[in-house]
Amino acid sequence: MVQATPLASKPCFSGTMTGVAAVLARMIPFRVLTLLLSFQLLQPEAHAQSGERTRLALTMKELAAAETDALRDSINERVKLQLRALLDADESFGRSYDSIPMSRVDAPDNAFRLFTWNVPREDGTHRYEGFLLVNNGKEQSLYELRDMTSSIPSPEVPELGPDRWYGALYYQVVPVKKAGRTYYTLLGWKGYSKVETRKVIEVLSFRNGRPRFGAPLFGGGRRRTMRKVYGFSFQSSMTLRYDPIMKGILLDHLSPSRKDMEGQWAYYGPDMTHDAFFWYKGGWWYEPDIDARDPSPGTKRFNPPVRKSLEEGE
């Protein structure tokens, strides 16, 4: 295990400057000298942060190589401690974390940075971990996310929070606005079992400054759901992405391999057709059978639902 780079000693300035400092004092205006000395004082902290990021990247590689649940659990605790130390530090919101091999989505408006990773289990399931770093302007808040998948039997129904989270690895964020409030639509991957994988359309918002997962933005009338969850065979893959040209969330339509397998997601897979969700009048509206080919100029991709269908839902 590689140790982090030792912290350099902070320079100590006495009342009388000598040597290079004295020369600089005579040649450089006081304000510029103050900035230079402040930068020198901050260098040890920057080196420490760099060392901590390197150490965390190595720990993540250890986690990926671990072969038993016990070893993964032990290494995962180190991952959480190291990441928390990084994110708890002053000015952590503006730092780069590209060298750390874990999923991360950053809000385009700088409202948050969301870190997620998974811990595979020997039985084929996965446990998900996450930290949400929220930018409150003059200060920042850090929330640890606790995966409670096993206690959420109907994942599309409840509103959730950091302490009760339907874990996933998020790879794309799409902000939308409704009644002056911003909702961040998250697209995620979720290894579920030995035979089933899932994709998730989640919604993150903030109420009184506190994060909430899920919002009634899907469907219409009384049948609105808080998030969308799609299950399919582990041998298949499913497209789920935001298309900026289409201005909608494009997804593969899933069908069972046999009619008698209907409702058993482990036997579902893409059937070569595509559906989409479009943002319309404060909600994500489902549109089946979308032409996913490159659009021709002027092609209309979505017909807004009429008032009757808005009232009835999907």
Q: How far apart are CA 113 and CA 131, in angstroms?
A: 8
The secondary structure of 19-50 as a DSSP string is: HHHHHHHHHS-HHHHHHHHHHHHHHHHHHHHH
Mean pLDDT for the chain overall: 84
Q: Which of 14-23, 44-53, 116-125 has the lowest mean pLDDT?
A: 14-23
What percentage of the chain carries pLDDT values higher than 90?
72
What is the residue type of 104?
Answer: R
Residue range 241-272, pLDDT digits in tens = 999 999 999 999 999 999 999 999 999 999 99
pLDDT at 293: 72
pLDDT at 46: 54
Which is more confident, 24 or 141? 141
pLDDT at 200: 98
pLDDT at 48: 60
For residue 299, is pLDDT > 70? no
For residue 17, is pLDDT > 50? no
Average pLDDT estimate for 285-310: 61
pLDDT at 292: 78
What are the domain boundaries of the chain? 102-312
Strand partners of residue 202: 186
Rounded to the nearest angstrom, the gap between the alpha carbon of residue 107 and the centroid of all alpha carbons in its chain is 9
pLDDT at 50: 81
- The residue whose two tokens read 């700088």 is 110
Residue range 86-142, pLDDT digits in tens = 999 988 999 999 999 999 999 999 999 999 999 999 999 999 999 999 999 889 999
